[in-house]
Structure 1
Amino acid sequence: MSTHSATSSFLRSRLFSFGSNTSPSLQQPSAYTALDRAAHPDDTILGAPRRSGSPAHLHARNPHRQEYGALASSQSLSSCATQVNEKDEPSPDPRLFSHRRRDRFRAKSVYYVKYYLPILTWLPNYSFKAALAGDIIAGLTVASFNIPLSLSYARTLIGVPERYGLLGFAFPQLVYAFMGTVPVMITGPEPAISVMIGQAISPMVMAGNPSFEERERRAIMYNGLITSLFAIIYLVMGFLRLGFVDSLLSQGLLRGFITAVGIILTFDTLIQALGLSALAAAQNVGAGSGGVKLAFILTNLKNTHGLTAAIAFISFGLIMFFRISRKYYGKRFPILVYIPDIFLIVIFSIIMSWKLDWYGKGADIVGAVERPDIQLMSPLNSDTFPRVTEVASSAFVIALLGFFQSAAIAKNIFPDPPTDSRVAPPKNPTISMNRELVALGTANLLGMFMFSLPVIGGFGRSKANKFAGARTQLSSIIFAFSTIIVTFTLLPSIYYLPRATLASVLGLICVGLLEDFPSDVIGYFKMHAWGDFSIVMIMIAVTLGISLQIGISVGIVISLVQILRHATRTRIQVLARVPGTTDTFRNADIPSYDVPDEALDSLEHLHNVLLVKITEPLTFANCGELQNRLRRLERYGTMRMHPSLPAMRRGDQNVVFDLEGMTACDTSAIKVLLSIVEAYRSKGKFVLFARIPATKKMMLLFKRSGLSVLLSYNGHPPAYFTSIHEALEALDECIFETPGTWTPEDEDREIEAMPDEEPEQIEEDSIATDIEGSTSGDETIDEKTHLKREMV
């Protein structure tokens, strides 16, 4: 009986009290508040304290140190939060914590409105001294060269009248200024997206060799349908909080997409610049692939119209001259930044075309552009709805790529803060991809009723907006009103504008899309990034050989396959002990900072024990290969051996799983673990778990699934250990060979003694929610709840 009691006492101390430290200095109570203690719970298994003890004593070692803004031991986080709250942030509406549901709803509604209308956040704090001049200059500067571009996008790339391109820059931009979270982003039609739309609708527009009027009518209808689908896709994605999908595509795919679009756009621009547009329309070249367009250009160089080509290339040369001058002399002569070169070239070409009668000499001009007659009507009706299926797949891919481009702008273009804090710009809301989707969807929803071109964020114009001095969305409002004025008052003045000039402006866009390609390719070679380089070349080849849509689709499929392959791979490591240590283990397959490649063979592989580390959460997606990889480790003791080779080790080892990285586990993964443990138990071997994340949720999952019972050997508590070394000690001391008195009720008591987890962290772009722990009636509110309310 005494032997049994001694064994039980030993196991209890071994399995549930490892690392207890009775040092007097560590037993002193910490100066942490309740919230501080909740933020640093004891990381234990079934309530067992770790050997390292609580981190509180580390905080109290030198209470007078203030490095990196640390608090003195006498100052709690709650007081710090109160000071910051009083100094920088207004106090939250007290109705958020009311016991009445109606009061909480009314208070939250204000935050919801501000959440989706960020203008209510930055406009009341607008600093005229800091931002007004820069916003006005930037808005007018961007309008000066984007208004001519919109004419090119509409007629040249999609085949709709020019006014629909102008409408895409006008009213939808006002919507984004009210709802967008990126201060300097300018939305509107984009050349890459316009090229793809033109390619997508060209077969339907040109079917049956229709007249010019019929082609234009079809183009307007299909363009309106695609704009409608853009609005629906973005709004659905935004309200379903799918903004994270912007991270799904690799840099190689984005580079291939941009390069492929640049190549197609270059061919379209050359056709117009050489005066071959009418011939290309007669031969239906617009619906062909990039290779077809290149062959058309090469075979028809003899038919080039001399005057048209001269206008286009001279205008392009002047634009490039100003661009290079700004690049190299902009800092020395800041006035160069504000010269509206494209606007001036457009005005000069209109005057020259009128004076010299270029139209009479064969040069194509814009001609009469009708003033928009805005009649808000939906493209989706009983007559057009059956045709939605003809463009649905293309619209989805194009909308997705348009969002990727907008997301890249949101992540990479910000207004730089001024050096003088006294002229700081007004406060802007946090940039959120979900709210960006809602903003873009609403902008396209308005554009849909005007049949405007689809609207996304533009990298080039947003960058120019920033460089011109924009600080807030007011520059977008200035830009939108400038476009509205031109659209409704100045359209007759562009009657004599040569289309060759518009082609030269598109040439600048082509340069912008292709100029980074050589440096990116060189970077791929330097980094040996053959996968990304292959994706780029495949997209270019498929685009030139088949079509732009097929090229983009192939690139997206390759990217998704890479993501799925990465997500479904079980990342496990085989561990070995560093020589001369007892509790230091390293990956035996990959060198580390303290174990170089040549020292991997010196690591100690333990006899009859396989040490396996799972480095990530186990889910249904990545647990499928766990058994196969574990079997491979049993045969070879390493993942570097090909499975075709003969076995190097016996397959009857005990297994110790290091689960420090397995922070989550779903039911599919639990079933896999159950089958693994059952297989080892059937062979008379032990499976031990070390460094399990000490959360009540995880332990309850293990208990309810029956895993804890399977890991309980000979009446002992489940084989959960706080370190690998302790698990190995249990095997060495053969503690499982003696009978124990553990019961599942003992585990229930240990789990109940574990602290509850902290509430889930609120997402970055979510707004105020109900505060956990609110009370009603005369119930008292504990310190933790008070502190949470102070720190909202």
Structure 2
Amino acid sequence: MLSSSTPNQDSSLPSLTRSPQLRAASSLTYQSLDGKIGKKQTKELEPVSSLSDHLYGAIRDEEDADSVQSSTLQDSVNTTNSFTNIPHNLNDPNELSLKQRLRYYVPCCNWMDSYSFDYLMHDLIAGVSLASYQIPLSMSFATAVAHVQPICGLLGLVVAPTIYMFLGTVPQLIVGPEAAVSMIVGQCIEKTVKHNPDVSPIDLLIVLSSCSGAILLAFGLLRFGFIDNILCGSLLKAFITAIGLTMMINSSISILGLEGVLNNLPSSIHVHSPYQKVIFLLEYFSKYNKATTIIGTSSFLIILLLKSLKRLCVRHKVPLASFFPEILVVVVFATVLSALFDFKSHGISVLGKITIKGFKLKVPFTGATRLWYGELFPASFVCAILGFFETSTAGKSLSSSHMSMSSNRELVALGAVGLSVSMFGALPSFGGYARSKLNAMNGAYTPASGLFMGITTLLVTLYLLDYIYYLPICVLNAVIAIVGMSLLQESPKEVKFHLRTRGYNELFTFFITLAASFFYSIEMGVAIGSFYSLMRVVRHSTQSRIQIMARIAGTDTFVNSDFTDSQQPLHFMLPKRVVVKGYKEFRHQSMIGKRVAVGNPDPTFTSDDQTKLVPELEDREGCLIIKIPEPLTFTNASDMKSRLKRIELYGSAKAHPGSTQKKSKVRHIVFDLNGMTSLDSSAAQILADIVQSYKNRGISVFFCRLFRNRTLLGRLEDAGIQAMLEDFQIPTSDYNISQTYKPYYDRILDALKAIDYMECGPDSDVASYVSSMMPYDGSV
């Protein structure tokens, strides 16, 4: 526990920033905190039952260590109302050894030295099983969604898990081509190629992958891992819903055999948004290909049936059913039928010959591709943000109490993955929840399962591509339609929940994002939804939450008195407001209240009577007591200044500017700063202006319950606020006024006694009431 000063400590203590005694106490505080934090970290790093928990128990983001120290510090400070010298930097990076740093920056070092044959077999089985599901899916994403060659999806499934194995922090997370990001890539490529026929789709893909990877890598190096907490969940749900809807619409065009009609439309006719494609389907439905429609629809229904049977078997405790690859079965069966009955001769488009001959690595940000980075940057940014959100959602779902995901490390890992896959011309790759959950169910322990999945995919790419020549394109689109349908399943639950809880802001975010994505483009939906969410965050952060404090009659407790009916607790009616003249009345009623509560309790007073109480709140005449319950920054200090003016004029921060001004004038103002744990330079300037303005108008200002640390005290002194407050100090301390560090008061009551002294003078009878005070008990 942090040591603290006693209430009766000499008020003439030297400055905290200069006192050698306090510097010595500060060193003891360091040792105490280091001891506590060391014990907490040691406990977290104890071995646990599963390998994944054991191997990744040591991975902790650097901000997690900061939060441990902050919580330890705050718990210690909250146990005392006296003031303590809090040192600046509790997290000394020099204490970390090279091995510890290596384990943080290269996470694979945490599990490679403990890897065993048993875990190798588990990862191998999980990786091969997952490849049977992911290979046809990645080919579908490339061909039917991103409008590039199938090899781009397969290479993404090979390269991305390999890179993530070394840099990822979630052991069972599988990184690869994702439906949502592939859809954004496909829309961008389709629109660009439509108006620039000479450009290569692979070059555009390299630009999108490398640019999104560079964005994520920069965010990781700048420690922007907090961005996954900024945008609300309804925004992400709207993204996913728009993606699923777009995938189903695009797949319907291919299943009906209308791709040729769409490609042959004049360049003056733009069919890019989902809404425009729905109009296209309605206008050209009569030109559908009968054979393609039968094969595509049949594949769609068979996959649905197999998935339903699979869920039914799992529900009836048939564990092996979860390993059944229904997509692979349908793809193989359709390919065999296509080869036997020559589907191509019946007008059904097939995948054709896929080759990797002539393939060579390409370095991003060089050559002709540099011309496209500016134009494709918005789409790349959307891919990066959406991919990180999906990865973060999947990673947090798979994390345990001993295995937390590091957002900053994940940004670096995904950035490295994006730059790596761009060199191979592969699809942007991110973590996916469904396949990662399946990977965990298959028994995977470490990211090596992703490596084995990549090796299996590479073997298929090298030796088995010739056998999928006859795979019908409409079957791949049926797979995409199934994926799109699965993305829509969470939307009704999301809408229903926010309707039930009256979350109208979340509903507005959801529908405006979905509408913009449907009628214009997914990029526009992302931009509008993100802008609205960020405006909500900015508005919330710029609002000051200062409170008008009043004393509950008969107690020494001060509470917020500036509330409305909707904010009042259910067991209280609106309290009655009473204005009293000075400290005499405050102290008199407080003593009476304590005698009644302690000396002569009423045995007939029941809890039912308590719910009927109407509390009486007392205000000091001519005095405002303002609580600042939050750190002051440049974002909320200006709003606090305007709210203080409104309180002074109308008596409430919530009053309308057109309300009638109150007649009583303010002579004193007391600031309760218990919650103001930090103060930036801009806020200090505004606070100094406020104090100077009050001083110029003859209003005395008092600061009490200051949360003291070296930075905060130094900033108040450097801004000149401390010097201005010294003008309102009383010349004597004979009235039991607690000031551990002048000119700041320990309690609100201490400031009120100083006000009484200023108004009544030293010859008044204030001392008689002061002498009857109970000893300091730590209350406000």
Q: Which residue of 567, 582, 593 maps to 2:556?
A: 582
The separation in 2 between residues aligned to 1:711 and 1:161, in whole angstroms, is 73
User: Partner residue of 2:218?
Assistant: 236
Q: Which residue of 244, 247, 252 maps to 1:262?
A: 244
User: Partner residue of 2:319?
Assistant: 334
Shift of 1:689: 0.9
User: Partner residue of 2:509?
Assistant: 535
Contact kept? 1:589, 1:600, Cα under 8 Å: no
| Residue 720 (str. 1) matches residue 702 (str. 2) | no
User: Partner residue of 2:282?
Assistant: 298
> Alignment partner of 1:375: what SS?
coil
> Aligned partner of 2:412: which letter?
V
Contact kept? 2:632, 2:679, Cα under 8 Å: yes
The separation in 2 between residues aligned to 1:132 and 1:597, in whole angstroms, is 66
Q: 1:404 to 1:594 in 2, by over 3 A?
A: same
User: Partner residue of 2:123?
Assistant: 135
Q: Deviations over 1:596-636 (max 9, x none)?
A: 35347632233211111111111112111111101111123
Q: Which residue of 496, 503, 509 maps to 1:522?
A: 496
Q: Deviations over 1:238-267 (max 9, x none)?
A: 111111111121112111111111111111
Q: Deviations over 1:53-76 (max 9, x none)?
A: xxxxxxxxxxxxxxxxxxxxxxx9
Contact kept? 1:259, 1:540, Cα under 8 Å: yes
Contact kept? 1:172, 1:447, Cα under 8 Å: yes
Q: Which residue of 615, 626, 629 maps to 1:612?
A: 626
Q: Which residue of 308, 327, 332 maps to 1:324?
A: 308
Contact kept? 2:667, 2:698, Cα under 8 Å: no
Shift of 1:333: 1.1
| Residue 272 (str. 1) matches residue 254 (str. 2) | yes
Alignment TM-score, normalising by the size of structure 2:
0.78
User: Partner residue of 1:674?
Assistant: 688
| Residue 409 (str. 1) matches residue 409 (str. 2) | no
Q: 1:563 to 1:715 in 2, by over 3 A?
A: closer
> Aligned partner of 2:691: which letter?
V
| Residue 460 (str. 1) matches residue 445 (str. 2) | no
The separation in 1 between residues aligned to 2:164 and 2:101, in whole angstroms, is 17
Shift of 1:140: 2.0
Shift of 1:106: 13
Q: 1:649 to 1:229 in 2, by over 3 A?
A: farther
Q: Deviations over 1:507-549 (max 9, x none)?
A: 1211221101011100110011111111111112222222221
Deviates more, 1:311-320 or 1:599-608: 599-608
Deviates more, 1:641-650 or 1:727-736: 727-736
Q: 1:327 to 1:545 in 2, by over 3 A?
A: same
Shift of 1:656: 0.9
Q: 1:654 to 1:149 in 2, by over 3 A?
A: same
User: Partner residue of 1:548?
Assistant: 522
User: Partner residue of 2:572?
Assistant: 596
Q: Which residue of 226, 240, 243 maps to 2:208?
A: 226
The separation in 1 between residues aligned to 2:728 and 2:169, in whole angstroms, is 61
Q: Which residue of 338, 355, 362 maps to 2:347?
A: 362
Shift of 1:457: 1.2
> Aligned partner of 1:530: which letter?
Y
> Aligned partner of 2:103: which letter?
K
User: Partner residue of 1:200?
Assistant: 188
Shift of 1:667: 1.4
The separation in 1 between residues aligned to 2:396 and 2:459, in whole angstroms, is 32
Shift of 1:570: 1.4
> Alignment partner of 1:604: what SS?
strand
The separation in 1 between residues aligned to 2:40 and 2:276, in whole angstroms, is 65
Q: Deviations over 1:620-665 (max 9, x none)?
A: 1211111110111112322332222111353424111111111000
RMSD: 3.2
The separation in 1 between residues aligned to 2:576 and 2:337, in whole angstroms, is 76
Deviates more, 1:590-599 or 1:372-381: 590-599
The separation in 2 between residues aligned to 1:240 and 1:638, in whole angstroms, is 42
Q: Which residue of 492, 495, 500 maps to 2:466?
A: 492
Written as runs of structure 1 = structure 2, the 5 A alignment for 1:550-565 is 550-565=524-539
Deviates more, 1:658-667 or 1:247-256: 247-256
| Residue 315 (str. 1) matches residue 285 (str. 2) | no
Q: Which residue of 274, 289, 292 maps to 2:273?
A: 289
The separation in 1 between residues aligned to 2:152 and 2:355, in whole angstroms, is 10
The separation in 2 between residues aligned to 1:301 and 1:612, in whole angstroms, is 69
The separation in 2 between residues aligned to 1:462 and 1:562, in whole angstroms, is 32
The separation in 2 between residues aligned to 1:714 and 1:515, in whole angstroms, is 65
> Aligned partner of 1:219: which letter?
P
Shift of 1:105: 9.5
| Residue 388 (str. 1) matches residue 357 (str. 2) | no
The separation in 2 between residues aligned to 1:12 and 1:118, in whole angstroms, is 52
| Residue 437 (str. 1) matches residue 411 (str. 2) | yes
Contact kept? 1:656, 1:690, Cα under 8 Å: yes
> Aligned partner of 2:294: which letter?
A
Tell me how many residue pairs correspond in the alignment. Answer: 651
The separation in 1 between residues aligned to 2:684 and 2:428, in whole angstroms, is 47
User: Partner residue of 1:115?
Assistant: 104
> Aligned partner of 1:366: which letter?
L
Q: 1:404 to 1:677 in 2, by over 3 A?
A: same
Shift of 1:187: 0.9
> Aligned partner of 2:702: which letter?
L
Q: Deviations over 1:162-217 (max 9, x none)?
A: 11111011022101012111111111111111111121232321115x4xxx5xx5
Q: 1:245 to 1:312 in 2, by over 3 A?
A: same
Shift of 1:384: 2.4
Contact kept? 2:561, 2:617, Cα under 8 Å: no
> Aligned partner of 2:165: which letter?
A
Written as runs of structure 1 = structure 2, the 5 A alignment for 1:731-770 is 731-734=755-758
Shift of 1:136: 2.8
Q: Deviations over 1:15-42 (max 9, x none)?
A: 679xxxxxxxxxxxxxx9986786589x
User: Partner residue of 1:47?
Assistant: none
Contact kept? 2:623, 2:667, Cα under 8 Å: yes
> Aligned partner of 2:139: which letter?
L
Q: 1:270 to 1:711 in 2, by over 3 A?
A: same
> Aligned partner of 1:320: which letter?
L
Contact kept? 1:714, 1:738, Cα under 8 Å: no
The separation in 1 between residues aligned to 2:285 and 2:110, in whole angstroms, is 57
Q: 1:600 to 1:288 in 2, by over 3 A?
A: farther
> Alignment partner of 2:625: what SS?
strand
> Aligned partner of 2:209: which letter?
T
Contact kept? 1:202, 1:287, Cα under 8 Å: no
Shift of 1:472: 1.6
Q: 1:364 to 1:645 in 2, by over 3 A?
A: same
User: Partner residue of 1:632?
Assistant: 646
Q: 1:114 to 1:570 in 2, by over 3 A?
A: same
The separation in 1 between residues aligned to 2:323 and 2:28, in whole angstroms, is 54
- In the alignment, structure 1 segments of 5+ residues that lack a partner are 1-10, 18-31, 42-75, 93-103, 418-427, 740-792
> Alignment partner of 1:469: what SS?
coil
